[in-house]
Every structure is written in structure tokens, then in C-alpha cells.
Chains A and B, each alone.
Chain A
């Protein structure tokens, strides 16, 4: 919801806070450096890299310089970490080993990227034959037993670290291929790629400019992980004694240490420590980068909101703790089906402020009445409807006001959260809901019949057979010609208009007193919309149910509503009978909205040309 709130289509009313929150750009790097684990990982990797680069200067001895007279020596001033069984300096070998080990890991990752990345880009972008063939190759590569291939290569080409790592790079290139391909597939059909094609950009330029940016981050994360694996694999091979004994690497040192584990256990410790440190740092770095990328847009919500209900919070909070059931509603208002009084809904922000999305909204709905709530995106109309339903996100807070349903509070004055205990007794039984997107509100895994019958069995406590009979009747009531066929169908087998009829059938299945319909026809074609509006009108008349209709369309309002509430930026602008609001709107905002309607306007005339797009 917060996304739609960032933009306010008309100039915000002064005094409403947080409606025009400008997005602060923070780079991934900056966020990375805020993460202590990320900094630690970078520092460790930098230190090890520097030690490896300056090994020639820093190491007191040559990597293979052996002092036969001083084997397996304990640490002293000359050999600060002692010597191995051939009298070679452990510290020096560790430094030279770091160089070789890191370089080989880099080589492995470079080979894997060089193969996997371009292949993935091409396969993802062009699809077709190249993708089919490369998928085959990838499957074959992935089914090869890696270690056996590496042993075979060792047998064929001799104990070269480089050849082993090139081979391993080829073996793990499928992981890059798959990563790249799926990232590219997700943006291949984005409209901005189409726009670039229309501009005549060549494919290589589209790939480098518009598509490569989405693969960059995952590739970096993957490389951190792959480098760690490469170090482990390479050291493992050498530990088995398959490495080049003339070269100092951590694996060779580990192997050497293992042979002397009973004489000098520290020989095993140092290379193992170096490897653990490096691999651990790589994994941490990968995680830190991922967190930095993912947390970019997220606002961390505090447990306790900094701002509480502004008006009567302290007194009411004290009262609330003293009693279990909410107080009786004000006398003389019991007859309203729903009464919303001075409602305020807000979202606590990371900086302790409160983003108010509904502010001081009051209205009521009587039995058998249709109330329209009209407004543009960000007007708070859906948030208002959801607070009546008790379906606000967990982070939302009722900051002011009350809501009562049929003479009882669902949100008593001073309460911060909607009481789920109270509302779950009402939802489905007495208050039901028709959503905007019919398709996404049906579970694709279950048949339509199952999704109609289960709630009825649960809520009404009737048998399954009875519920099935009832569901059939409901389906024919909502104008479905072959109820039994629709009953057995899965959601993907019916059209959008049909799905909305099914949801309406579900909404009336438990004979509610109030139906909240959130843009029930917005996702439908105009001709289907007219049918669904007819259906809602007929059902409302025959059932005598109260309806809250949330919409942006004044035509829909004119078609259905008795009374109208106009909202803008979380505030109530105007309320009145439908004819008054549509014919003689008092407020400027309502007038502007109605002036934007195209019906009855001279074609090709300017509608609101004097206004410019407001800048947030």
C-alpha cells in the first residue's frame, strides 16, 4: 500500500503529513558499509589479499627454502610459526600459499563466469534453439561427478593447479548460466526493453544497457560463494596428495600437516585456519551484499510505535486494561449498521514519525444502503475499508477514532489495533468482502466448488452435502448458466467476469449484513462490468444488505450508490446523497474530479489544461 501512497495525484492538503515522502537514494555500497559483518568480511579479504600480493616482501624465506637442521621446530624469532617436516618456514609458505590459493579461486570463478554469463544472457534473451541446446549441455555438465572428472584430468594433464581450476570452472559454469538466464527471462519482456527495440537499439546494446544491470548483483553474490567452494575443492584435491608438491598452497600444507598431526598439531592448524577465515569471509561478504541489495526499499518497523493515538490515548489505554469487553456505543447511534468516527490510520516510520493514511474520517452506513467511497490512489479509501474489515497490515496502527458495527465497537475509542477476536466472529458471517482482482483471490490449487463449500461448512455449521446444494443455488443466483460445470472448474478455467461472480456468490453465501466491495469491477471489461453491477444491485435489493463500495469511477457510483463519501489524501472531502454530490459538488476537489470525466465533454477539448502535474 505504501507504494501508492508515495504519489499524490493532486496537490496535497497542507497539514497532512507523510503523504509525499520523497524516496532517498542510498547506494548499495553505502548500505554494505553499514553492515558490521560486511565490513569485517571486506577487511579480512583485503588483509589476506594484501599479504598474498606482497608475499615476496613480507615472507622471510623462499616458499621451498628448507633448513634440514631445523624440522618441525616450534615458533621462535626466526620462524614465527615454526617449520614443517622439511624445515620450511610455515609463515612464508602460508603467504605464498595464499597467493596461489586466491589466484586459483579467481581463475575458477573467471572461467565459470566467462562461460556461464554470456551463454545465460544469450539463452535468456533470444530463447529458441540456443537455449534448448545450452540447456542440454548444462544438464550433462551438472550430471557429471565433479571429483571424478577432476581426478581424471589430474591423471591426464599432471598435477597443475591451473588446469584443475579451469576444469572446475567449466564444471560449475552451469550455476552462472542458470542464474543469468532466469534473471534475463524475468526482464526480457519488460516494456522498457520493448521501448528500446522500438528505438532501434541493437541487441548487444539492449543487453548491456537494459538487461545486464539485473544480473550484475546476483553474479557478484554467486561469485563470492563460488570462490569459497573453489578454495575448498582445490585444497581438498591437494590434501588428497594430488596437488603439485613443488608449489606451496594451503592444501599442500594441510596434507603435510596431516602427516605430522601427532608430532606437531599446529602444522594442520594454520592452513586450516587460513582457509576457514577466507571461505568464511567470502560467505559473509556474499550475504552482506545480498542484504544490502534486498533491504534497500524496506523500512524497519519498530515494535512499539513512537506516536500513539493523539487525542484520548492515555485515558483510554488505562480504561482498556481495566475491562475486557468494549464500552457501549454512544446512545442514539446503535441503529447504524456501521459507524466510523474520527478514524485515523497510520504507519509508524523508521525515523519515529507516523505516516497517516487515513485522517479524521467519519461516516455511517445504514441497513440496506449502498455507500460509495470515491477517491484516487492514495486517498485512503481502501485503508478505510480494510480497517472496517480488520484486515490492515500488521504494521498499521489505528491512531484515532472508533468503528462500530451493529451497535457494538469493533474498534473502541483509544484502541490501537483492530481486535481480531471481535472481528473474526463477524467476518464471513456478518461482514463479507468482494475484492478488486477476482483471479488473485481464488486459490488456483482448489476447485471453485471447494472454495465455496468449505467456508459455509465452517461458518454456518451445515453439512457438506447441504453446503454443496447451497453453492449450486448461489452460483445460479449470480447468473452462472451452468453452475455444476463452474462448481467443478478450477479458477484458471473461468473468465475474469465469471471469477468475480463466484466471489460475489462467496460473499453472499453466509447471508451477511454488510458487504465491502473494493473496486469490484475495475479489473473487468466494460461490458462485463455492467453485468456485474447489475448483479450487485439485484442481490443488494433482494437481500437488503448494506454495501460499502470503494471505487474511483463516478459512473459506478451513479449506477449503484445511495450516498457518497469523497476522499483525498486520507481525509474526507465531502459527504452527501448521490445526486447532490454528482450534480452540485460543493468542494473544489470533487468539482475537479467530476470535470475530469470524459462523458459529455466536447471531443478534443482541453479538460484541465491550466493545471500542471504536481511535483512530489
Chain B
């Protein structure tokens, strides 16, 4: 393992994902084109983009839930782009997920205790040990221990998302793919869940691939940011740089589109945005005229 020690935790090279078309002999739908990203240990890569940009698909491809048509996904130097279910089982110790919708990501028929014990059971942990671990997890995500024997529907959205985070943490993974984990939550709940993500990273050194449509959220939680647009990564770099002074026109538009909570600064931002849109429109026309 010493050779892989310096390599990034996750390395995605020229990834292509295509979904076969429903119609006979039609061209497949290309969801991702030539994606290259990497995530180091203890690092958060924020993935931002609009709906349909392919950011969720990229997360799902890493998890083995989307078909990899081309390119490679390396986890600790090992190619996992076409991992079998058995390899996935081993991999699940290091690679976990938190989904967007806390209402459908927990099986409504299972008690919280059973949901949390599931990944432990898959790895063959004894029941008594698993029980102790589940209690630890509840404590870690700030849920009361009497949550064990309750059903998901007895909890609010924020609490369910905590359960989902606890399930992801159960096996002390090295990387957690977070697919819009705070988008469905209320503002104050979102803040608490973001705090939890940061706290967990401080405590355990876990890495995140953090997918979100909200540039503010991504800026807050990420070390580096990648911007996706129409299935491609148009820009990536340090979070500070990308979210203050972006180069790509789309990122520029995205940055100025998000409203700020102050009427006068927002008016300024609105004016900046209109100016930017006008400049981009002119550039576009010039480009068209040249072509």
C-alpha cells in the first residue's frame, strides 16, 4: 500500500457515462463527458452545477450506481469503475453515501437501529458489537439513543438526514459522496447539518465529494470546487478562487445569480449581473459574427 500512500484517495480520469436509449438503435444519452477530478485524504471537493448538469451522475458513477462507458475511477489506486458486487462490499467500508432526500433514503419499514446496523451486518460484525457501534453513531450525529427503536417517519427532515449521515459513518469510511445532502432542509437545519459535516471531517479526517446546486453551500464546505455544465467540468480549482473570481462565463453568471440578504448589496449585485449578461451577450454575438 506504500505506493498508493501519496496518490489521491479518489482519482477519476476522462470518465464518460452514457445511458442506453430506450428507442431501438438510437444514440445513447451521454450524461458525462471526459470528467477528470481527484480528491485527497481529508479533502472536500465541492461539485456545483444546475439541474441536469450531470453532477449527481458523477457521484453515482463513483458509487457504482451509474454505467461507466469510458475512462477510469481509481480509489486508493485501485480501478473500481467496473467493480463487482463482492468488490463493492469490501469497498463499502471506505466509500459511503448520503443522499439528497432524507424522506426516501431511509426504508420506512425499518427501525433506525436496524437501518444503522445494516452496513455493519454486511461486513460480518457481531450483533452485540454492532449495537454498541450504533449507539456511538447516534451520539456522534447528535441524536438521542432512544431513536434506536423508532421509525424514520417519526423524525423531522434534519433528524432523518442525521440518521443517513450516521449510516454513512457506520464503517468509518474514507470518502463520503454527499448528493445534495442539505438541499431539502430548512435554513437553520441546513446550517446545523453543515456544521455536523465539518465536525465529522475534523474528527475523522474523512473526505467528501460534496454535490450541490448552491454555490454558497459549496463555498462554505469545500477545499476545492469543480463547476459542471452540460455534463462537463468547465472549471475547477481552490474554493476561494472559484467562488470569488471565476473564469468561466457560466460560473460568473452563477455567482452573481445567487441573491444576498441585504437589499442594497443585492441591488448592486443585480446591476453587476445585468452588466455581465450584457457583456456575455455581446461576446456571444461577436463570436457568432466571426463564425
A197, B50: Cβ atoms closer than 8 Å: no
Instruction: Assess whether A278 is interfacial by the CB under 8 Å rule.
Output: no
Q: Number of B interface residues, CB 8 Å?
A: 78
Instruction: Assess whether A376 is interfacial by the CB under 8 Å rule.
Output: yes
A25 to B264, CA, bound (A): 51
| CB proximity of A9 to chain B, nearest CB, Å | 5
Instruction: Assess whether B78 is interfacial by the CB under 8 Å rule.
Output: no
- Contact (A598, B220) CB under 8 Å given A194-B97, A552-B186, A578-B263: yes
Instruction: Assess whether B204 is interfacial by the CB under 8 Å rule.
Output: no
A195, B91: Cβ atoms closer than 8 Å: no
- Contact (A200, B92) CB under 8 Å given A530-B273, A604-B220, A616-B154: yes
Instruction: Assess whether B132 is interfacial by the CB under 8 Å rule.
Output: no
- Segment touching B, from A62-70, A435-443, A462-470, A607-615: A607-615
Contacts of A186-210 to chain B: CB distance below 8 A = 190-192, 194-203, 209-210
CB-contact partner of A199 in B92, B105, B151, B256, under 8 A: B92
- Contact (A530, B99) CB under 8 Å given A192-B106, A198-B88, A200-B122: no
Contact with B along A522-539 (1 / 0, CB 8 A): 000111111001100000
Instruction: Assess whether B90 is interfacial by the CB under 8 Å rule.
Output: yes
Instruction: List residues of chain B with CB within 8 A of the CB of A555.
Output: 258-261, 266
A199, B191: Cβ atoms closer than 8 Å: no
B262, A210: Cβ atoms closer than 8 Å: no
Instruction: List residues of chain A with CB within 8 A of the CB of B217.
Output: 598
- Segment touching B, from A96-104, A154-162, A314-322, A589-597: A589-597
B155, A526: Cβ atoms closer than 8 Å: no
Instruction: List residues of chain B with CB within 8 A of the CB of A616.
Output: 154-156, 159
Instruction: Assess whether B51 is interfacial by the CB under 8 Å rule.
Output: yes
A599, B65: Cβ atoms closer than 8 Å: no
A533 to B259, CA, bound (A): 10
Contact with A along B197-228 (1 / 0, CB 8 A): 01100000000000001111101111000000
Instruction: List residues of chain B with CB within 8 A of the CB of A534.
Output: 270
A608, B151: Cβ atoms closer than 8 Å: no
Instruction: Assess whether B257 is interfacial by the CB under 8 Å rule.
Output: yes
A554 to B105, CA, bound (A): 29
Instruction: Assess whether B128 is interfacial by the CB under 8 Å rule.
Output: no
Q: Which residue of A lies closest to B240 (CB)?
A: A603
Contact with B along A137-166 (1 / 0, CB 8 A): 000000000000000000000000000000
Residue among B63, B153, B259, B263 with most chain A CB within 10 A = B259
CB-contact partner of A201 in B50, B122, B262, under 8 A: B122
- Segment touching B, from A40-48, A219-227, A261-269, A556-564: A556-564
Instruction: Assess whether B275 is interfacial by the CB under 8 Å rule.
Output: no
B122, A25: Cβ atoms closer than 8 Å: no
Instruction: Assess whether B188 is interfacial by the CB under 8 Å rule.
Output: yes
| CB proximity of A390 to chain B, nearest CB, Å | 27
| CB proximity of B243 to chain A, nearest CB, Å | 8
Instruction: List residues of chain A with CB within 8 A of the CB of B256.
Output: 530
| CB proximity of B133 to chain A, nearest CB, Å | 14
B92, A198: Cβ atoms closer than 8 Å: yes
Contacts of A494-540 to chain B: CB distance below 8 A = 496, 525-530, 533-534
| Interface size classification for chain A | 35 or more
B187, A529: Cβ atoms closer than 8 Å: no
B261, A25: Cβ atoms closer than 8 Å: no
CB-contact partner of B105 in A25, A191, A608, under 8 A: A191
Instruction: List residues of chain A with CB within 8 A of the CB of B51.
Output: 496, 525
B65, A606: Cβ atoms closer than 8 Å: no
Instruction: Assess whether B286 is interfacial by the CB under 8 Å rule.
Output: no
A593, B188: Cβ atoms closer than 8 Å: yes
Instruction: List residues of chain A with CB within 8 A of the CB of B99.
Output: 191, 194-195
Instruction: Assess whether B96 is interfacial by the CB under 8 Å rule.
Output: yes
A527, B158: Cβ atoms closer than 8 Å: no
Contact with B along A5-34 (1 / 0, CB 8 A): 011111000000000001101000000000
- Contact (A376, B187) CB under 8 Å given A6-B156, A200-B90, A598-B216: yes
| CB proximity of A611 to chain B, nearest CB, Å | 6
| CB proximity of B274 to chain A, nearest CB, Å | 8
Instruction: List residues of chain B with CB within 8 A of the CB of A10.
Output: 188
A555 to B259, CA, bound (A): 4
Instruction: Assess whether A213 is interfacial by the CB under 8 Å rule.
Output: yes
B186, A376: Cβ atoms closer than 8 Å: yes
Instruction: Assess whether A377 is interfacial by the CB under 8 Å rule.
Output: yes
CB-contact partner of A613 in B104, B143, B154, B213, under 8 A: B143
Instruction: List residues of chain A with CB within 8 A of the CB of B220.
Output: 598, 601, 603-604
- Contact (A599, B191) CB under 8 Å given A197-B88, A198-B65: no
CB-contact partner of B261 in A8, A9, A192, A554, under 8 A: A554
B259, A558: Cβ atoms closer than 8 Å: yes
Residue among B85, B188, B190, B239 with most chain A CB within 10 A = B188
B144, A615: Cβ atoms closer than 8 Å: yes
Instruction: List residues of chain B with CB within 8 A of the CB of A195.
Output: 97, 99, 105, 164, 167
Instruction: Assess whether A260 is interfacial by the CB under 8 Å rule.
Output: no
A589 to B264, CA, bound (A): 23
- Contact (A9, B186) CB under 8 Å given A527-B257, A595-B191: yes
| CB proximity of B124 to chain A, nearest CB, Å | 11
CB-contact partner of A197 in B64, B101, B105, under 8 A: B64
A109 to B153, CA, bound (A): 34
Q: Which residue of A lies closest to B107 (CB)?
A: A192
- Contact (A9, B158) CB under 8 Å given A198-B97, A558-B259: yes
Instruction: Assess whether B95 is interfacial by the CB under 8 Å rule.
Output: yes
B195, A608: Cβ atoms closer than 8 Å: yes
Q: Which residue of A lies closest to B52 (CB)?
A: A525
Q: Which residue of A lies closest to B253 (CB)?
A: A527
Instruction: Assess whether A304 is interfacial by the CB under 8 Å rule.
Output: no
Q: Which residue of A lies closest to B143 (CB)?
A: A613
Instruction: List residues of chain B with CB within 8 A of the CB of A213.
Output: 107, 109
A596 to B60, CA, bound (A): 29
A548 to B106, CA, bound (A): 36
A202 to B51, CA, bound (A): 31
| CB proximity of B116 to chain A, nearest CB, Å | 11
Q: Which residue of A lies closest to B51 (CB)?
A: A525
CB-contact partner of A596 in B86, B92, B190, B240, under 8 A: B190
Instruction: Assess whether B33 is interfacial by the CB under 8 Å rule.
Output: no
A199, B253: Cβ atoms closer than 8 Å: no
Instruction: List residues of chain B with CB within 8 A of the CB of A196.
Output: 118
A192 to B103, CA, bound (A): 9
A600 to B260, CA, bound (A): 9
A606, B199: Cβ atoms closer than 8 Å: yes
Instruction: Assess whether B194 is interfacial by the CB under 8 Å rule.
Output: yes
A523 to B105, CA, bound (A): 20
Instruction: Assess whether A583 is interfacial by the CB under 8 Å rule.
Output: yes
Instruction: List residues of chain A with CB within 8 A of the CB of B195.
Output: 606-609
A555 to B256, CA, bound (A): 12
Instruction: Assess whether B39 is interfacial by the CB under 8 Å rule.
Output: no
CB-contact partner of A9 in B65, B164, B188, under 8 A: B188
6 cross-chain CB contacts under 8 A: A9-B157, A200-B92, A558-B265, A608-B188, A615-B143, A616-B154
List the 5 shortest-distance A-B pairs measured between CB atoms, nearest first. Answer: A200-B89, A7-B156, A555-B259, A596-B191, A554-B261
Since A526-B257, A528-B50, A606-B199 are in contact, a sample of 16 more A-B pairs with Cβ atoms closer than 8 Å, ordered by chain A residue number, is: A7-B156, A7-B159, A9-B157, A10-B188, A195-B99, A210-B107, A376-B186, A527-B253, A529-B259, A530-B270, A534-B270, A558-B260, A558-B262, A583-B262, A596-B187, A599-B260
